[in-house]
Amino acid sequence: MADTNTLNALIEALRRLPGVGVRSASRMAFHLLQHDRPGAHALAQALEQAATQIRHCTLCHTFTENEVCATCLDPRRDRSKLCVVETPADQAALERTNAFKGLYFVLMGKLSPLDGIGPKDIGLAKLFDRATNGVVQEVILATNFTAEGEATAHVIAEALKARGLNVTRLARGVPAGSELEYVDLGTIAHALVDRR
């Protein structure tokens, strides 16, 4: 594309974004340079600021600019309940329900031996310390219902039960608003087993 190394460098840098191939990267570069140079400057600044300032909450591991995140500091939250999620996006999804008033532990990933992600990489030792601090009464496992999320939940559950903690898992079942005809078999089977 043209003769500019600067442009090629930009396309290469955009390709490091997840889900962006060489064609999308070219289209993004073209769009920014042709139609939105202020957007390019704004994105550069936002990236630089975020990469420099954002770190992990020392208590729950989520992204924050401070030592401890606002959720962990919030005095109105129920400190006896600790909800374990994979990512800040999952935490945000739970927060939007307004159904949970406890605290979180954000793994920032999931166990994935094939990708070389073990217990250390998702801070399990820290989670176990936090869960056994004497205040936490119940640990709610809200990792995703994927193979790796389930495996992660299983490992955490076993370890915490061995420490005598009350461990629960988000209910599996038929999604609200769905018709049985179109729900997959595994989900219906789980919903039958967990009927109430």
> Applying CB under 8 A, which residues contact a copy of itself?
1-7, 9-10, 12-14, 16-19, 24, 26-34, 36-37, 39-51, 53-54, 62-65, 69-71, 87-89, 91-92, 108-109
CB-nearer residue toward a copy of itself: 36 or 78: 36
Q: How far is the CB of 39 from a copy of itself (least distance, A)?
A: 4
140 C-beta neighbours (distance < 10 Å), count? 18
Q: Which is nearer to a copy of itself, 92 or 125 (CB)?
A: 92
CB 131 within 8 A of CB 121: no
Tokens linked to 135: 């205040």
Closest CB 108 distance from a copy of itself, rounded Å? 6
Report, in Å, the least distance between residue 180 CB and a copy of itself: 28
Nearer to a copy of itself, 69 or 167 (CB): 69
CB of 174 to a copy of itself, least distance (A): 24
Closest by CA position to 149, among listed 194, 112, 105, 103: 112
Cβ closest to a copy of itself, residue 34 vs residue 133? 34
Instruction: State the number of CA atoms in the 13 A half-sphere of 26 facing the CB.
Output: 5
CB closer to a copy of itself out of 6 and 168: 6
Alpha carbon distance 165, 105 (integer Å): 15
Least distance from a copy of itself to the Cβ atom of residue 89, Å = 5
Kindly state the smallest distance separating residue 142's Cβ from a copy of itself, in Å. 16
Q: Which is nearer to a copy of itself, 57 or 167 (CB)?
A: 57
